[in-house]
Each structure stands twice: as structure tokens, then as C-alpha cells.
Homo-oligomer: A and B are copies of this chain.
Amino acid sequence: MNKFLKLILLSIAFLQLTHAQTVVNVVDWGILPGKDATLELNELIASLKGQENVIVNFPKGTYQFYPENAFEQYRAVTNHDNSLKRMAFPMFGLNGVTIEGNDSEFIFHGRLCPFIVEGGQNITLKNFSINWEIPFQAELKVIETNKAENSFTAKVTTNHKYKVKGEKIYFQHYNWEDPIGQNTPFDPETKSPIWDSRPYSFNISKAIATDVGNGQIKFKNAMKKLPPVGTVVVNHGPQGTNRLVQAIHLSNTKDTYIENVTIYAAGGMGLIAERCENIHLNAYKITSSEGRMSATRADATHFLGCKGLIKLENCLLEHMLDDGINVHGAYVKVAEYLGDNQFLCEISHWQQWGLIFAEPGDEVTLISRETVLPILKTSVKEIKILNEQKFLLTVNEVPEYMPKGLLSFENITWNPDLEMKNNIIRENRARSVLVTTKGKVTIENNYFSSQMHGILIEGDNNKWYESGGVTDITIKNNVFENIGYGDDTRYPLYISPLLRPEQRLGEDKYHYNINFINNKIKSFNGHLVYAKSVKGLVLKGNEIILDDTYPTGAQKTPLVFDYCENVSLEKNKFSGFSWPITIEKVDSDTNFKLKKNEGVSR
């Protein structure tokens, strides 16, 4: 090819590129700071259908979005409360669209869902923040306690108006009011849930509220123990309506990239994704805004039944009222075998109702609900949704003899890989990481400091019905700092299927191949790992150092192995602990290696 031809080809390529990069300036659609821009934004988003490689450009500013004229659709959103949802960015079936915020603030009002991305591919969200004028959680700062009358007086520190009616307090939101529902006490010193939060749960029925004027409310008989002055009681609102408004919902999408998006509030999770392929979060942040203790009402990120790669890097996830990340599938119950390879199935948890469990071609396993172990692997021939709870599932093979006991199905196809690097998860209620995917998991160079377990590898055919057994997990070079300050029973690494009393461990192990290597654990209790029903567990080169930020001492055994096989503990070093770092082994002697550990009692 001569130079001239090359130049022509390059020019064509450049033209294609510039053609590919259509920029839509939101100002041209009447979207401006200082007014409700929802109707115009809905119209802009609708106009993108059928276009490709479009950048929707928001000049830097503070934009306001209200629910009154917003596009609405009945939506089932897993782990949330299903409802008619109004939305600001209804991104349905779009392809190659970038929302470029240029560091704008998007301020939402009322029950308006910011982003719903349904279907489509190559969606990028970048450089903006999401916040609400009135947050979903009312926060009350304890300013005085009175032991004699078992009361404390608190000040509402969020911008909620309130009323005391019939001895109960009600917080005014955009167009509804919330009584006190679930709640979490935060310690403003640590910016985290308070140490040993158990006695500070609000007793909704017994508590007597009195408006004592001057923006202060007195609560009598509200908690088992009077909270320390300064504690901020964060009110989640009542179950059933406190997960109506997630910030970002991805559903059936492919290739989503989210970069430098900060979420300060949401009436649900920050990001909830279901049945998506490839999601990449870079510098995605959850944190509380000025003057508030808490951020999102629920998890920072949550992935159900995804595939491809889920990648989180450079993220800061803090002050959310639930887990940092949760990656899992769903166990659905078999209600009845109808014959002819057809099963009447039931979605197990009410906050999964409406979930797309599988589609034709997906591989599924039939599972014993007694042992939570697979019976038969097959694939889906047909699926017919009856209602949000029930569906008919026709598979290509069934066991020669259908087992008599209770059965479930698990989707095998939709299990993503997970890569987490250089993230911080801290100062939140609940866990840093929950993961039960059969994909390859790498968790490296992160910092974790959550109120419950650090990394929970569960598999639960019991409560939330989050499947399933893992096969390949590497957790290395992370820092775990004072994991489990909510009570004294938590571990940096906790691995166990969650079993009902009527469920039992089966012949095979539930989890496989978990490597926990070269992590640094700062700990008040010396807990390292609790492992149950694992085959292939390597704990190597971890350093566990006493930290006295919280009261020190251990209620539980620091190293527990129950029904495990092929366990290797090598070169782990416990230092500074004044109590014995013991190992509890139950039925775990098969190929159990213990080598060159320091500070571990034999």
C-alpha cells in the first residue's frame, strides 16, 4: 500500500470515528440546571433508540429531576420492592450510549429512579454524582440520655420535617411519610455502625416519642441500652417500602461501563444488576454527603445471575446500610413435578419475585433441597412465566427416578467471573463482600473494614436463596481492618452454605478451591477463617496483627474447619494476641496441612 492510499484510508477511518461519536448536548433538549428537566430528559433518552455511539453530554452543573412527569413502568427489581417505577434515564434497548456528566450533580426528588438500563449493550455512565434533596433515611443524633426514665433525646440532623402522632414519630418525605422502621446506630467518630450495635436496635412498638420542641424528640423505652451521646440513629424506614428506589438498575444488558460515578443516596441499592453480561466499575463511589452519616439504604453493588466478567477497580464503597458487593445466583424451588420434563417452580424469596431465572438453552442443575447438592445437570427447553412467583420450567433431561424430597433449580450458565482490585469497602452495615459464583474470582489489593464478615462465601437455600457453591476463588494482598465490629462472631473469611435445621451436608463438599493468600488482617479478636464443607482451601502467608481500636478478645475460635478436605495452612503469622489462637477441626482431617504458621496454638 502506498502512502497516499494509507492516508485516504486513515481519513476514512477518522471520518467514521467522528461520525460514530455523535454528541448530543442536553442543553439543546431544554435540559438545564435550576428546573425540573425530567420530561425533556425522558424525551432525549427515547430519541436515542436505534442510534449508535452517542454521547449525551451534560455541561457541568447541578440538574434537578422530579417524579411528576417521569416515564413510568411496573418493574420487578430483584432485592428491591417491585412497583410502578418512575425513572429519569429510562435506557431501554439502547446500543452504544455514553452519559457524560462532566462532574455534574444529578439531584433527585421523591421516588424517582435515576437509571434503569434494560437490554441493549455498550452503555457507559461517567463523571456525575447522584443525590437526593431529601435522603431516604432520617437521621437522629443523640444529644442527651436519662437513665432514670430510660430515655434519650435526639435531634433530627437530616432535612426531614417530622411530626409526633400517637407517641410515634413520622418523618415527612417528598410525598409520603415514614415511621421509624429498621435502623442502624452510627458512631460519628468512626463514621461506622457503632461497636456492638446489638443493644441499640430501636423497639418500634415500645418506644414512646415526645416532641420536646426546639427540633428535639425524646424517646422512652426505645432501646435495650441507652445509646452513647453523639450516636446517630439512622432510620431505614419500614420494610416493604424502603427498597423502592435503587440508583442504577441494569437488567439484561451487555457490556456496561461505569466510571467516576458517585452515589450519595438511594432508597435501595446503589447498583443492582440482574442477568447482565460484563459490567465494569471504575472509580464508582458510594459515600454519604456532607452532614449525613449514611449513603444508600442497601448494598453498594449487587449482581444476581450475571455472566461474563464483573470487574470493580478503584471503587470506594462506604456508609451504605448493607453489603459492599454481593455476586450470586438464585435457587428456585420446585413446587411440583408435572411430568413430561416440566416443573412448576417458585421463586423462593419475595424480593426476587419477577426474576428471570433462566431462558431456553441455559444450563441448570436440579438440586436436593436437603443437601443443597446437585442431582442432575441439564438444560432449559422452555420457560413460561405464570406470575411473579411461579413459572413452568421444561428441561431436556430428568433423573430416571425423580427424587422424593424437596428440590430446587440453579442456573449454571449465568455465573460470572469476578475481579476486584484496589477497592475500599468500609464503614458500612453488614459485609464487605459476598460471593457465590462458579466463575473465576480474584480479589486483590483491596481494603475491607465492615461491620459483619469481611468476605462471606455462603450459598443459601434457606433465607435469601442466593446460590451457589464456588469453584475458584483467590483472595490475595488485601487489608482487612477490624472486620466484624457489629458483634463478636464475625470473620474476615467465612465460608459455609447456610443450612436450615432440616437441611444437612451431603456426601460431596459444597465449596471448592478457595485461596486466601498474603492478606494483612488487623484484628481485635484474631478471627481468621470459618470454613464449612470446603474442598481445597489454602490459607497462606497471611499476617494477623492485634489492633486495639475496639475492645480486644475472642468469643469464637479464630480458625474453624468443619467438614473440609484438602486444607492447607501455611506461613500465616498471628502477632500481638494475648489469648490462644486455636484451631477447631470437625471432620476435616482428610489431607489437612499445617506448616510454618506463627502464633497458632497446636
Chain B residue contacts of A387, Cβ below 8 A: 69-72, 84, 86
- Complex alpha-carbon distance, A86 and B344, angstroms: 17
In the complex, are the beta carbons of A68 and B390 less than 8 A apart? yes
A388 close to B (CB within 8 Å): yes
Chain B residue contacts of A45, Cβ below 8 A: none
Q: Which of A71, A86, A386 has the most C-beta atoms of chain B within 10 angstroms of its own C-beta?
A: A386
Chain B residue contacts of A388, Cβ below 8 A: 72, 84
Q: Which of B69, B74, B344, B389 contacts A386 (CB 8 A)?
A: B69
Q: Which of B39, B71, B82, B386 contacts A39 (CB 8 A)?
A: B386
Chain B residue contacts of A390, Cβ below 8 A: 68-69
In chain A, positions 32-81 with a C-beta closer than 8 Å to chain B are: 39, 42, 68-72, 74
In the complex, are the beta carbons of A42 and B72 less than 8 A apart? no
Chain B residue contacts of A71, Cβ below 8 A: 386-387
Chain B residue contacts of A86, Cβ below 8 A: 387
Q: How distant is A236 from chain B, measured CB to nearest CB, in Å?
A: 23
Q: Which partner residue on chain B sits nearest A67 by CB separation? A: B387
- Complex alpha-carbon distance, A344 and B69, angstroms: 9
Q: Which of A42, A70, A74, A387 has the most C-beta atoms of chain B within 10 angstroms of its own C-beta?
A: A387
Digitize A541-585: 1 where CB-to-B-CB distance is under 8 Å, 0 elsewhere. Answer: 000000000000000000000000000000000000000000000
Digitize A453-475: 1 where CB-to-B-CB distance is under 8 Å, 0 elsewhere. Answer: 00000000000000000000000
- Complex alpha-carbon distance, A388 and B83, angstroms: 13
Q: Which of B39, B68, B74, B386 contacts A84 (CB 8 A)?
A: B74
- Complex alpha-carbon distance, A4 and B69, angstroms: 69
Chain B residue contacts of A389, Cβ below 8 A: 68
Q: How distant is A32 from chain B, measured CB to nearest CB, in Å?
A: 16
Q: Which bracket fits the contact residues of A?
A: 10 to 19
- Complex alpha-carbon distance, A70 and B387, angstroms: 7
In the complex, are the beta carbons of A70 and B39 less than 8 A apart? no
Q: How distant is A339 from chain B, measured CB to nearest CB, in Å?
A: 12
Q: How distant is A36 from chain B, measured CB to nearest CB, in Å?
A: 11
- Complex alpha-carbon distance, A389 and B39, angstroms: 14
Q: How distant is A552 from chain B, measured CB to nearest CB, in Å?
A: 46
Q: How distant is A389 from chain B, measured CB to nearest CB, in Å?
A: 8
Chain B residue contacts of A70, Cβ below 8 A: 386-387
Chain B residue contacts of A84, Cβ below 8 A: 74, 82, 387-388
Q: Which partner residue on chain B sits nearest A86 by CB separation? A: B387
- Complex alpha-carbon distance, A186 and B387, angstroms: 38
Q: How distant is A43 from chain B, measured CB to nearest CB, in Å?
A: 9
- Complex alpha-carbon distance, A69 and B391, angstroms: 8
Q: What 5 A-B pairs come out closest when comparing CB atoms?
A: A72-B387, A74-B74, A69-B386, A69-B390, A86-B387
Interface residues of A (CB under 8 A from B): 39, 42, 68-72, 74, 82, 84, 86, 344, 386-390
Q: Known pairs A39-B344, A69-B387, A74-B74; list 5 more (Cβ under 8 Å).
A: A71-B387, A72-B388, A74-B84, A84-B388, A86-B387
A-B residue pairs in contact (CB < 8 Å), sample of 22: A39-B344, A39-B386, A42-B386, A68-B389, A68-B390, A69-B344, A69-B386, A69-B387, A69-B390, A70-B386, A70-B387, A71-B386, A71-B387, A72-B386, A72-B387, A72-B388, A74-B74, A74-B84, A82-B84, A84-B387, A84-B388, A86-B387
